[in-house]
Amino acid sequence: MKYEGWPEPGELVVGKVDEIEDFGVFVDLEEYRDKRGLVHISEVASGWIKNVRDHVREGQTVVAKVLDIDRSSQQIDLSIKDVNDHQRSEAIQDWKNEQKADKWMELAFGEEVSDEQFRDVADELVAEFGSLYDGFEQAAIHGAEALEGLDLEEDEVDAVVSTARENVSVPYVTVTGYVHLESPAPDGVDDIKESLKAAENEDVVPEEADLEVTYVGAPEYRIRVEAPTYKTAEDELEAAAARAADDIESRGGAGEFHRERQLEEEA
């Protein structure tokens, strides 16, 4: 999606070298509709430049920093030399992500989607999440709940969510902890089984998190949580352990959560 309007001074933009002159380089901005910028020869690279073509070539994709804008003359002054390697890599990745998101929009609504509907849905996602890609990513993680409050029709929400979950690769993190469960009751094994079921309760575990409890060796049980962020994973790990401990304690037993596996001391 190409944005209407103008970039802001200080913004990093992705562009394609369109024309090279002795005094500088003209760059077509990939992210803005009908916008072209000029990189003066002094802003192409550090140090003295004998030949601009030694540093850039026509058709090359570059990342530039917006130095100044004169809307009356349609002039956008850019700098390539003011962009470091990390900034360049990050800007290119963001640009590629937005290209992916454009394709997801076509998948969600079909190639025949009107420009108006495309723009309306895209504007809602960008306004809420900062970018079209981030909007799809959040829809993949949280489902329709992520899009609550947006000015979208129900079928539009369904289209975004289903497309996101089929196409977005969400980065997940995994955390592990242990819960120590004991019960003095004659049927203590059954009590512990019920406490483990409480830990795995699907009704309270968020849809974006995957939680698994496994047997390590009585009285220890491992809880493993996979989620999109460390905070979510950590929160769900502690909540699951607390559910198990609370349940076993309500049955007259004892429960305790700890990070590392606690081995029994040898006699």
Task: For CATH 2.40.50.140, list the domain ranges present in the chain.
Answer: 12-83
What is the mean predicted confidence (pLDDT) over 69-75?
Answer: 93
User: Where are the strands (E) in the chain, listed by range?
Assistant: 12-21, 24-29, 36-40, 61-70, 75-79, 173-182, 210-217, 220-227, 254-258
Q: Tell me, what's the pLDDT at 55? A: 95
Name the segment(s) of the chain with CATH classification 1.10.150.190.
86-167
> Per-residue pLDDT tens for 104-130?
999 999 877 888 888 899 999 999 999
Residue 126 identity (one-letter amino acid): V
The pLDDT of 84-95, averaged and rounded, is: 94
The 10 Å Cβ neighbour count of residue 247 is 21
Strand order across the beta sheet in which 254-258 lies: 210-217, 220-227, 173-182, 254-258
Please state the CATH superfamily assignment of the domain spanning residues 173-258 in this structure.
Answer: EIF_2_alpha (3.30.70.1130)
Q: Report how far residue 258's alpha carbon sits from residue 16's, in angstroms, rounded to the nearest whole number.
A: 54
Q: Which of 23, 20, 24, 15 is nearest to 66 (CA)?
A: 15
Its pTM stands at 0.66
Q: Which tokens sit at 47?
A: 């140090």
* The residue count for the chain: 267
pLDDT at 264 over 50: no
Average pLDDT of the chain, as a whole number: 91
Cβ atoms of 39 and 25 within 8 Å: the answer is: yes
**Is the Cβ–Cβ distance between 44 and 67 less than 8 Å?**
no
| Cα–Cα distance for residue pair 172/170, rounded to 1 Å | 6
> Which helix or strand (DSSP H or E) is residue 161 part of?
helix 154-167
Question: pLDDT tens digits, residue range 24-42?
Answer: 999 999 999 999 999 999 9
How would you label 143-168 residue by residue, b for 16+ Cβ within 10 Å and e otherwise?
A: beebbeebebeeebbebbbebbeeeb
Domain with CATH 3.30.70.1130 in the chain: 173-258
Query: What was the pLDDT predicted at 155?
Result: 94
Q: In degrees rounded to 5, what are phi and psi of residue 123?
A: -65, -40
Query: If you classify domain 12-83 with CATH, what class do you get?
Result: mainly beta
Angle between helices 132-142 and 115-129 (to 10 degrees): 70
Q: How far is CA 131 from CA 102, 128, 195, 205, 217, in A?
A: 11, 8, 43, 28, 47
Residue 49 has a pLDDT of 92
Domain 86-167 has CATH 1.10.357.10: no
pLDDT in tens, 57-69: 999 999 999 999 9
pLDDT tens profile 222-255: 999 999 888 888 999 999 999 999 999 999 999 9
Q: Is the peptide bond before 171 cis (omega within 30 degrees of 0)?
A: no
Element (H, E) at 241: helix 230-250
- Taking the CA atoms of residue 90, residue 96, residue 102 and residue 107 in that order, the dihedral angle to the nearest 10 degrees is -120
Closest CA to 206 of 181, 237, 177, 179: 237
User: Per-residue pLDDT for 259 more than 60?
Assistant: yes
User: What amino acid occupies position 232?
Assistant: T
